[in-house]
Amino acid sequence: MTIVVESGSVVPDGVPARARAVLKGEALDGESGGVTATLDAQGFSGATGETAVVTNSDGTPEFFVGFGEGAELDGEACRRAGAALAKAAHRVDAIACDCSSVLVFGLSPVEVATAVGEGAILSSYRFAAKRQKTDPPRLSRVILIGPDERALALGAERAEARGEAITFTRELVNEPPVELTPTRFSELARQRGAEKGFTVEVHDEHAIAEMGLGGLLGVAKGSAEEPRLVRADYTPEGGAETTVTLVGKGITFDSGGLSIKPLTAMMSMKYDVAGASSVLGVLGACKKLGIKVRVVGFMPLTENMPGGNATRPGDVVRTRNGKTIEILNTDAEGRLVLADALALAAEEHPDAIVDIATLTGGIVVALGKRLAGLMANDDRLAAAVERAAERAGEGFWRLPLPSGYRSIVDSDVADMKNVGPIGVGSALIAGLILEEFVDTSPWAHLDIAGTGWSDENDGYVRKGGTGFGVRTLLEFLEHYEPLGGKANDNPAGRKVVR
């Protein structure tokens, strides 16, 4: 069930439950001693994500939701509060929340409504398509009440658009891989383009071969499922002078190929399609959010399987830009499919290229499961992504692309190897390999291997696919300022190792 976020200046008639946003330490003026005592008895202090409920004299429930310290109020606090509200009120079908007390701090009413609405929508997400019996939350409407109804309405619209993009992404990632094949993904991309206002081209195996996408074909060789390349194009009404290209890794299932993964590492490998899913999710929100730049998306799609025709360690593939790669580990396949897609993106000379991928276990070792990796060949682009991530409440940490490490992947038989020594700077080396395919375009790489999947429910994050990165990319596109020209000659990340 999808929550609809609405707004108003007063509580509409017929709404069965009410809620009130409360700051930590806030004096509940006008409340009776009985209500205050009831809240105290429940241990309610107004801390972020705390909830308490009081039954009014007419028998209706009234929820109190903590937003934390007013001086520290940010989008993430509002998002967590929205998630707590939806969880607490899951047995009613609609609730009106008075947000007046939190609209007087640094965040605008639009930002508050967006974040609260996102938290409510995302926390209520359930992947239920394969369950015979489900017990979904009843809550289907959240009405945000405050003095600036117009601003709250705009925030509610943004929350719905962004929430839909993330839940769509989660749905794709959570689908069984036997059903979400490259062919099925491409069909869904066509449907989403028709519904959401962007064009979609789908290239089959024959076309992929004609285009010289040897990296994608090499990974696909071991699978009975044919690969696909999806190119999507959103152009705002009236056109745009600036183009941003998004590239998403789309491995619909990753067994590791002949370098097969152990069982425990393979169990969640349907989530290796998270990058491509994120790109498709983002494109579907562009029109409703009024994104002003043209957005092109490339999604290379394949399984990575150990079939009789699978690529062997020692094989060499030739990529779109002519560079050859010696395959020493078939489980380092994401960089191969991205190499072709990035080369295609660079040929169109966009203002910026951003790829998103569940790329390396090394990023999980380095940053854990709450931070994603950011690498870039351009300081301006890296800073823009970092600002977007901060507004979105998603954690990214910029890592270097040290030129002194490039020789690690020198090959005796090809232009490069697809891996370096086991356990040595693997996330950085993967980034350096990808950089070989972007030419002079400003480019950023988002490695979401640790954040694209969750093993537990945590606030608005649900078990399974998380949709991590979608909010950051949408914030990035909404606030995009053209870079113009080539990437920096000497970005900050290059200075770490000589």
pLDDT tens digits for range 32-48: 556 777 888 889 999 99
Catalytic residue among 261, 292, 318, 387: 261
Classified as helix, coil or strand, 138 is coil
pLDDT over threshold 80, residue 134:
no
pLDDT over threshold 70, residue 61:
yes
pLDDT at 32: 53
pLDDT at 330: 98
CATH 3.40.30.10 fits 4-159, yes or no: no
Per residue in 75-123, pLDDT (tens digit) is 999 999 999 999 999 999 999 999 998 988 889 999 999 999 999 999 9
Span 431-437, average pLDDT: 98
Per residue in 442-476, pLDDT (tens digit) is 999 999 999 999 999 999 999 999 999 999 999 99
- Residue 210: pLDDT band with limits 50, 70, 90: very high
Catalytic residue among 158, 170, 335, 391: 335
Does residue 184 carry a catalytic annotation? no
pLDDT at 304: 98
Span 400-429, average pLDDT: 95
- C-alpha 124/C-alpha 2 separation (Å) is 8
- Residue 217: pLDDT band with limits 50, 70, 90: very high
- C-alpha 161/C-alpha 357 separation (Å) is 22
* Among 466, 359, 428, 422, CA closest to 127: 466
Does residue 162 carry a catalytic annotation? no
Q: In what order do the strands lie in the sheet with 316-318?
A: 316-318, 324-326, 416-417
pLDDT over threshold 80, residue 59:
yes
**Any idea what DSSP says for residue 461?**
B
**Which pTM value belongs to this model?**
0.95
The set of residues, in sequence order, having a beta carbon less than 8 Å from that of 424 and lying 6+ positions away, is: 408
Span 45-63, average pLDDT: 90
Span 322-332, average pLDDT: 98
CATH 3.30.420.40 fits 175-495, yes or no: no
Span 330-338, average pLDDT: 98
pLDDT at 1: 47
pLDDT at 74: 94
Summary mean pLDDT of the chain: 94
Q: Which of 33-42, 191-200, 349-358, 410-419 has the lowest mean pLDDT?
A: 33-42
pLDDT at 31: 55
The set of residues, in sequence order, having a beta carbon less than 8 Å from that of 342 and lying 6+ positions away, is: 247, 298, 353, 355, 434, 437, 438, 443
Per residue in 218-245, pLDDT (tens digit) is 999 999 999 999 999 999 999 999 999 9
The set of residues, in sequence order, having a beta carbon less than 8 Å from that of 4 and lying 6+ positions away, is: 140, 141, 142, 160
**DSSP line for 25-84:** T---TT--HHHHHHHHHTT----TT-EEEEE-TTS-EEEEEE---GGG--HHHHHHHHHH
**DSSP line for 153-205:** HHHHHHHHHHHHHHHHHHHHHHS-TTTS-HHHHHHHHHHHHHHHT-EEEEE-H
* Among 31, 105, 100, 17, CA closest to 63: 17
Per residue in 149-181, pLDDT (tens digit) is 999 999 999 999 999 999 999 999 999 999 999
**Residue 283 near residue 234 (C-beta atoms within 8 A):** yes
* Among 277, 280, 252, 276, CA closest to 181: 252
C-alpha atoms less than 13 angstroms from C-alpha of 24 in its C-beta half-sphere: 13
- C-alpha 82/C-alpha 87 separation (Å) is 9
pLDDT over threshold 90, residue 28:
no
**What burial class does residue 156 get, using C-beta atoms within 10 Å of its C-beta: 0-12 exposed, 13-18 middle, 19+ buried?**
buried
| CATH 3.40.220.10 domain span(s) along the chain | 4-159
- Residue 30: pLDDT band with limits 50, 70, 90: low
* Rounded percentage of the chain residues whose pLDDT exceeds 70: 97
C-alpha atoms less than 13 angstroms from C-alpha of 174 in its C-beta half-sphere: 21
**Residue 271 near residue 465 (C-beta atoms within 8 A):** yes
Span 274-292, average pLDDT: 98
Span 303-323, average pLDDT: 98
| CATH 3.40.630.10 domain span(s) along the chain | 175-495
Max mean pLDDT range (133-137, 203-207, 458-462, 485-489): 203-207
**Residue 443 near residue 356 (C-beta atoms within 8 A):** no
- C-alpha 415/C-alpha 322 separation (Å) is 10
